[in-house]
Every structure is written in C-alpha cells, then in structure tokens.
Structure 1
C-alpha cells in the first residue's frame, strides 16, 4: 500500500505545553503526548504539536488550518460551563477554559470541513461537549477507570472494552474486545449530536465514540500509555490514516 501520509500534517493538540506549578503531572502528560507525536512521525506525518491554552482559539485555528488530521489529547477536566453544569463536584481540579474553548472550536471546524480527528480521553469529552453532549462529572471513589490517591504515574487502570462489531474502530483494531489503559474520573453522559457510542466498559461507561458520518473518533482510554498493548496506538491512529487516504483518493 502506498504511503499516503508522506507529505501530510498531523496536528497533536494538547491542553498546554507548560505546567510549572505541577511538574510531576506535566511530565507524565508529556510522556503520553510525546508518544503520539513519535508514532505520528513513524507513520510518515509531519507533526505539529501545539498547546491550546498557550495560543487561544484564533491562533489554534490558524495554526491547524491546513492540517490533514488532528488529535486532541488528554489532560484536565473541561470547565463545566461549556456543558451547562456547575463547579464544586468531587475530584474537580484546575480548568483551562482557554484550551476548552479553542479545542471545542477545533472540533466544530473539523466537522464542517470533514477533517479526520481523534480524541483521546479528555479529547473524547471535548468532542462530545463540542457537539452538544454533557459529562458525568465524577465516576465515584470505587471507579474502575482510574486509581485514586496514588502518584500520577500509577493512576492508569487496566480493563476491557467491548466494541460494536460494525464500528470503524473495531475494524481498525481487528477485534470487538480490547484491553485498555485508562485514567479518567469523568465520562460522556448525554451523547452529542450524531455521535454513536461504539465502545463500553463492563460497568456501562462509554469508552469510544464515532461520528455517524464524519471521520471523527474518540477513545476514553490511553492507547499511548507505556502500559497499553503493543501496537494499539498505531491501530487507533490508523482510523485517521485511512480517512486521510480516502480524502486523497476522492
């Protein structure tokens, strides 16, 4: 198969490139984000890496205007005002509302332009909120989706996700049941317009979303985590690569 990504740009959009007040957390997030950058380069993309909070909405849209594919990465909780909810919930931390606003605008433009987009963890939640959905603000102390009260590098938990057999993600992953690494205390609640839940955990938590017609995907887990099954990140990114190839061929 010819390499259709050789001259293509992948924009990896983070919350921020700097967290001087939380160096341990930032170092861990940077490890995850760097893994996506490295895999994108391995797949032949020219990778643009940008922090949404660092540049704001107008500049983010300008920088990514010509990107062939987009990845919205994990990070902090989305400010509740963007999905019509209140602050003060269990586990609430720092918000980056500038990043929220910019990434929501990015998703909406991707939908309008049919730009292939993948959301990872927070990125899935950004997709859902951008398209009119809401979030369950906290999964509770006994959640199986994150380890609570441990050092940041130990927050990931391992569990299974069942994928809808007819979903595009199942096709790319080659299975309807995947073992994943996750670290999230929130989840999609009301599902956004034209999004479909295509992956669920054993407790019923939505773990993967796809748009019904646009090349927009979200996974609530972290295929880029060092503890994820070998090759899983490449398979998840293949959903973008195939969409890029389809646009080239059209």
Structure 2
C-alpha cells in the first residue's frame, strides 16, 4: 500500500516560520505513522511541486491524505473574506488539492482529509465553511486544544480520545454526498464521510505525534477497508450483470 500525503508548502517567510515548523512536525509524524503500518508514504507540497508530479503522485497512490495548512480561499465557496484576522491564502495549493480530490472521486480512490484537508474535501464537493469559530485553537507554544467529540471511538477500531484540535474554521453547509458523522460538544462538525465513496474527513489532528500511531493508523485502515469493501461490492454487481 502506498499513501500520497499532500501538504501546502515547505518554506514560508520569517513571519510564518514558527507555523511552518509546527506543520513540519505534524507532517513528519504522519509519514512515520504510515511507514509504521508497513505502507510506503510520499509527501508532496501542493503550493510548489510541479503540477504534473502532483497529479502523477495522486494517480499512482492507493490512498490520498490531505494534510493541514492555511485557510481556504472563500471565493471557492462563493463568499468574501469575513475573517477577523486576514492571513494570506494559498490559491495554487487550493486548486491543486481540489484537483487531487476530484481525481479521487473519478477513480473512487480512498481519501482521508485532516483539518484543512477535511474542509477542502467539503468545499471541493460544493460545501461551505464557517470562516471563524472560537474555542478550538489555543495560543502560545502549544496551540492544540483537547476537544470533546462524543462518539470518536466509533470511527475506527481502537480509536480513543483525545481529539486534538487546532482550527478556527469549520465545515458549514455540507457538500454533495457528504454527511456529518461527529460533532464536538459545541456543535462544530468534527468528522464527515461520503455516502458512497471511501472518503473521510476529520477536523482534529490524528497525526499529532502524541496520538498518531493509534489514531492516524486506525483511520487509514478504516478508510482502506471501506474502499476495499466498496470495490468488492462493485465487482459482485458487475458479475451478476454479466
């Protein structure tokens, strides 16, 4: 099994250096967890890698993982910028990762979206975002907030709290074929799934180094199993028609 992991970028300005270090640690933890499963992993920067290599990576993968990063351009879901603090958008990364999602739709390729990836999955399928929510991101050196998400253990065997969040945006109106699976205690959508495709999005960070070897691996196996089950079902239907 090979998982292609898509993040935003590898370099930022001095002002964004601390944020980049945080994302680098999360991304490295994700790669390590995938490899610990006995799978292979490749990491791709959607804002800077050549377009042809990004598309090839997604099409050659058995599973796609969309990692965390910057806020998504609200023009993609028909809104202006209503954020209280306006940070730059990564429009090329938005465009390339949406292309990866739509390729996964056409190929029925298993996909896991994490934080930004969860939000971008919703936007790619026609949904919208809440541009600012409070209480799901901390300040200082540790921005992760342990969030109460009832039912988190139902997503995958052995999955247990904490749900470590670091976001200020959230899914609002759901995209085509998506349904909300889990909510936090304050009503924020914390997990979404597709009604027929092997797609799952989670708003928290299962790739955090403190939980990755239990949470991320459990979610990847759950998405993989759903994809395999769906493929077997399609084969049985095709055989009956023949």
Instruction: Report the TM-score range of the alignment, normalised by the length of the smaller protein.
Output: 0.7 to 0.9
Question: How many residues of Structure 1 are paired with residues of Structure 2 in the alignment?
Answer: 232
Q: Which residue of 2 aligns with 1:10?
A: 3
1:96 aligned to 86, 90, 94, which one? Answer: 90
| 1:211-230 matches, cutoff 5 A | 211-228=194-211
Alpha-carbon spacing, 1:68–1:247, altered in 2? closer, same or farther (3 Å): farther
Q: Does the CA contact (< 8 Å) of 1:52 and 1:99 recur in 2?
A: yes
2:143 aligned to 155, 163, 185, which one? Answer: 155
- Look up the SS of the partner of 1:198 in the other structure: strand
| 1:70-85 matches, cutoff 5 A | 70-85=64-79
Q: Does the CA contact (< 8 Å) of 1:160 and 1:201 recur in 2?
A: yes
Separation in 1, partners of 2:183, 2:80: 26
Q: Does the CA contact (< 8 Å) of 2:26 and 2:207 recur in 1?
A: yes
TM-score of the aligned structures, taking structure 2 as reference length: 0.88
Q: Does the CA contact (< 8 Å) of 1:180 and 1:229 recur in 2?
A: no
Q: Which residue of 2 aligns with 1:29?
A: 23
| 1:56 Cα deviation after fit | 5.5
Separation in 2, partners of 1:59, 1:85: 31
Q: Which residue of 2 aligns with 1:205?
A: 188
- Look up the SS of the partner of 2:149 in the other structure: strand
Q: Does the CA contact (< 8 Å) of 2:180 and 2:192 recur in 1?
A: yes
CA deviation vs aligned residue, 1:157-209 (integer Å, no higher than 9, x gap)? 01211238xxxx8251457x743100100000110000010010001100000
In the alignment, is residue 192 of structure 1 matched against residue 159 of structure 2? Answer: no
Q: Does the CA contact (< 8 Å) of 2:104 and 2:111 recur in 1?
A: yes
Root-mean-square deviation (CA, aligned residues, Å) is 2.2
Ranges in structure 1 where 5+ consecutive residues have no aligned partner: 1-7
Q: Which moved more, 1:15-24 or 1:128-137?
A: 15-24
Q: Which residue of 2 aligns with 1:130?
A: 124
**Which structure features the higher share of helix residues?**
2
In the alignment, is residue 231 of structure 1 matched against residue 224 of structure 2? Answer: no
Separation in 1, partners of 2:200, 2:21: 26
In the alignment, is residue 172 of structure 1 matched against residue 156 of structure 2? Answer: yes
Q: Which residue of 1 aligns with 2:136?
A: 145
Alpha-carbon spacing, 1:238–1:189, altered in 2? closer, same or farther (3 Å): same
Alpha-carbon spacing, 1:179–1:97, altered in 2? closer, same or farther (3 Å): same
| 1:100 Cα deviation after fit | 0.2
| 1:121 Cα deviation after fit | 0.3
Q: Does the CA contact (< 8 Å) of 2:198 and 2:224 recur in 1?
A: no
Q: Which residue of 1 aligns with 2:37?
A: 43
| 1:228 Cα deviation after fit | 3.8
